[in-house]
Structure 1
């Protein structure tokens, strides 16, 4: 029986463990902080739970348009919200522990180092545990990047892992960083009723997303009262007597009650012993892997944020599954980033799959594009929705769907139809011919596809 040792209990680790056990391997999983990793305990699950409350309040704020009168005093109890956030995160972690237990996976709470391709050493509360193994999967994740001039204190200057200790809604939240994490938290606190200033070093929010989608989000942000400071780079953040002061590189300052740092992530690869055994990492410390999750050392695989391939829980989980299938001789489909769907949980959401418009414009592919504003959708009108669209990309001549963008409420659900089309190489005509419910938001996906029917 093959013995697999997995370092890290996040999506990349626990999904790999489940696959390996199902394929007949003996599995040992070593986790330092708690099963589910940062995804479940401090990142994805907590933040999206917070956002769910924010989205509800945002919907309540538009109730009058639908003819519903609500009290003006509707507000969030942030202490209760955060208590629920942490309880749900722990419940999810417990569910994962149960799944691993019933799958006969051995779990060790401790910090692992790799002595060789065949030996992992775990430091636990009871002492050192030496694990002899046939193969290793490294799935240690990443942690928030901070700056020497902006040190979090867990009270006023916060990383996204620390916001759930707040017991009162910030009087003025300054969010530094306008990537996905920064935009999501800025949107969430704006929806919860806190004044928000978003400090962006770029000329627009969400610089890595579809331009049309990012423009919609920035327009919504400003319309809802958020201050968006573009082309504004942080120099430092410091505590004041009753809050924080953010100093920008051009000398301007922004004063608020709290500051949330969203400056990116650093891989958790230090102290693992990678250099000694020859596992290659890039200049930022991310582990280099191929499309089946192999590292540069035979028998050692890696998955998740510590690889920097595509920092999504879904990708981490898929990398872990692929690694174990490859190791244990099951059928393997190498990771295809061209078919990954992702979502930005702002209000409204941005969901994407496949090639982006920028990638297509930079390639030699000839592409046709169709975009349907949600404002033209009958169901959207009924629900009082004004912001958002569906956009599809197809290869000219053959009509195959190669990508798409959805902006709107629950875009993360609507994107699945487009994801299926991209994954199965469906044509726009095939998407258009599939029945949709009338009225429905998904009808805009079919309508966009109909507009891409080739005209002879």
Structure 2
């Protein structure tokens, strides 16, 4: 056991921890980072964003191959890859991401330690690597907790059963199921519903609410429901489980409505919990809520002002993109006592279903409730030359703008490359005054043929409604 003092100790190497540690190191501070996993990158790299999106990409490429007559005729049959085969496509991406991020810490002379962190007092913690390795004691002037989250697991469900998975363990499934029941129709549940349906699995998507992803613009949410059903996903709204019964040949789920659904496997995708267990926080006066999340102020300070928290462990917005910025902002405040930067008012959402969804700004429902006079402009992908060339004609771009000032109020996109397309509009929305005006899209020349051209089409469509 040894004692080492640092200016800042960061707990976690996901996006939030990386943003915080890099900012502090660039400011000349002595920084140590603690990661309980044996590799850096956090849940984003190893169990969440990167592997699931790499898996989705591989499945989409397989679909593209199988739906192309030229490719299929050349092979003589459809291309069939197992779930484990497709998962392996993510391994090289994860390996490259891990190596790159490990190099960041080495180049910035940040001390990296692996093990479970636990506070001994307000300025000291120990790192236990497990086994017979003696714990290391570290001290610091300040701390940033970026420990992330893990899937919420109800106590009455046996997650040790070989056919019951959560969104972490599903990435280690060694078989290709014929059928899957996904409990929870949030972002993760909808994304995996697309993934497994596009593999040819029978999918039941159970939603405890009356509408998929109700935070989205209603037209986009309804489009998602339509296309998931069109692909063959069975969506079951307003359902709650009563008993989950693991069997030798599948999982039988009993619902409070009286329904029973049997599937080869169950994927539980209903909520996440902050990684705050066994960290000694309660003894410091920092008490996580019932979902393991830490309360912070506008500058990411906890109940103890020298201990900050960022990312999934503080709850909303629980996005990798936002967590990185939160880490940088927390480190800036920690070092300088203030931070002029904050998260953007409207954080873009990216939902990687097939087709994908992205939006930024306000929805029609929000504008109507606020009695804001707005108009709508649409561009349907089926009318765009680029979409016709690629064959990705499902989708649309939707612009909401003020009828009088022409200020852009919301951008909603459904279809191929939606998460990329939305950033063009986000950049214009961020401008002040008349620069944030739908006329920009009418008077700007776009490359042709591109998906970006949808902005010009949607802007003209909306302006034509003002007459």
Could you tell me which of 205, 210, 213 is aligned with 1:203?
210
CA distance in 2, matches of 1:212, 1:69: 40
Pick closer, same or farther for the CA change 1:372–1:333 going to 2, 3 Å.
Answer: farther
Post-superposition offset of 1:173: 1.3
Equivalence map 1:47-86=2 (5 Å): 47-64=52-69, 71-86=76-91
Corresponding residue of 2:17: 13
SS of the counterpart of 2:162?
coil
SS of the counterpart of 1:56?
helix
Please, what TM-score do these two structures have when normalized by structure 2? 0.91
Corresponding residue of 1:106: 111
Q: Deviations over 1:268-308 (max 9, x none)?
A: 12222222222354453311223332223211111100000
Post-superposition offset of 1:170: 0.6
CA distance in 1, matches of 2:79, 2:264: 22
Corresponding residue of 2:302: 295
Q: Which moved more, 1:250-259 or 1:60-69?
A: 60-69
Corresponding residue of 1:222: 229
Q: Which moved more, 1:336-345 or 1:250-259?
A: 336-345
SS of the counterpart of 1:399?
coil
Could you tell me which of 153, 158, 176 is aligned with 1:151?
158
Pick closer, same or farther for the CA change 1:270–1:420 going to 2, 3 Å.
Answer: same
Alignment gaps of 5+ in structure 2:
none
Corresponding residue of 2:193: 186
**How many residues are treated as equivalent by the alignment?**
456
Q: Deviations over 1:18-70 (max 9, x none)?
A: 11111111100011113111111111111111111121233334424999876
User: Is it true that 1:307 corresponds to 2:314 in the alignment?
Assistant: yes
Could you tell me which of 62, 74, 94 is aligned with 2:99?
94
Pick closer, same or farther for the CA change 1:241–1:284 going to 2, 3 Å.
Answer: closer
CA distance in 2, matches of 1:72, 1:228: 31
CA distance in 2, matches of 1:433, 1:333: 34
CA distance in 1, matches of 2:288, 2:373: 36
Q: Deviations over 1:223-265 (max 9, x none)?
A: 1222222222222222222111111111211111111110110
Corresponding residue of 1:446: 456
Residues 63 and 69, structure 1, Cα contact 8 Å, conserved in 2: no
CA distance in 2, matches of 1:293, 1:308: 12
Corresponding residue of 2:266: 259
Aligned-residue RMSD, C-alpha: 2.4
Q: Which moved more, 1:273-282 or 1:4-13?
A: 273-282
Pick closer, same or farther for the CA change 1:337–1:194 going to 2, 3 Å.
Answer: same
Q: Deviations over 1:335-389 (max 9, x none)?
A: 3352311211000000011223333333343333222222222322333334211
Residues 377 and 463, structure 2, Cα contact 8 Å, conserved in 1: no
Please, what TM-score do these two structures have when normalized by structure 1? 0.93
CA distance in 2, matches of 1:115, 1:367: 55
Post-superposition offset of 1:210: 2.2
User: Is it true that 1:30 corresponds to 2:37 in the alignment?
Assistant: no
Q: Which moved more, 1:119-128 or 1:187-196?
A: 119-128
Residues 378 and 457, structure 2, Cα contact 8 Å, conserved in 1: no
Pick closer, same or farther for the CA change 1:415–1:71 going to 2, 3 Å.
Answer: farther
Could you tell me which of 345, 353, 359 is aligned with 2:360?
353
CA distance in 1, matches of 2:21, 2:161: 33
SS of the counterpart of 1:127?
coil
Q: Which moved more, 1:258-267 or 1:162-171?
A: 162-171
Could you tell me which of 420, 423, 439 is aligned with 1:416?
423
SS of the counterpart of 2:147?
coil
Residues 54 and 189, structure 1, Cα contact 8 Å, conserved in 2: no
User: Is it true that 1:277 corresponds to 2:287 in the alignment?
Assistant: no
Post-superposition offset of 1:323: 0.7
CA distance in 2, matches of 1:236, 1:57: 36
Residues 201 and 234, structure 1, Cα contact 8 Å, conserved in 2: no
